[in-house]
Every structure is written in C-alpha cells, then in structure tokens.
Amino acid sequence: MGRLAREVVLVAIASIPLAISVWALLDIARRPAWAWSLSGRNRVVWMAAVLVGMCSVVGGLIISGIYLLRIRPAVADAENGRFGPSSASP
C-alpha cells in the first residue's frame, strides 16, 4: 500500500500546474465580454496564451500566474464597477 500512496501523491502534485491552467481558462471564459473591454484587455489573447502555455509546465504556470495575479483583478474590478489605479495596471 505504501507504493500506491506514493504514486497517488506524485500524480496529485504533478496535476497542480494543469489545475491552475484550467482554473485560469475557466475564469477567463466566465468573465463577461464588456468587463474585458472596460479593463482594456483582450479575452481571446489571454485564452490563447494560457492554452499555448499549457504545452509546457513552466509556461503554463507563468502565463496562468500572470493572468490570475495581474489581469484577473483588473477585469474583476471592471466587472464590479470599480475603476481606478488598481485597474489601470497592465
């Protein structure tokens, strides 16, 4: 049972980058188009970037991380009607 448990843990850890990329893709898809327009971002470009980044583990983590930490807050602010310095960052 020890080897099976170790393999399950390894697969779970190896799935984290894929899960983060899927999370980013689902978040990109669920945000309304008008929020993307108001934030000055392009949904298609970010969706394509995350999909291309998923071809490599590091690329997927970097692109998804940039989206989730920098772009997502700006789009969410636009969606919630908040405009200001926090939504003006690139």
Residues 5-14 have pLDDT tens digits of: 999 999 999 8
Interatomic CA distance for residues 72 and 88, integer angstroms: 12
Averaged over 44-62, what is the pLDDT?
93
Mean pLDDT over residues 57-78, rounded? Answer: 94
Least confident of 8-12, 19-23, 57-61, 83-87: 83-87
Q: Is the dihedral of CA 11, 14, 17, 21 positive or negative?
A: negative
Q: Is the dihedral of CA 51, 83, 90, 44 positive or negative?
A: positive
For residue 87, pLDDT over 50 is answered with no
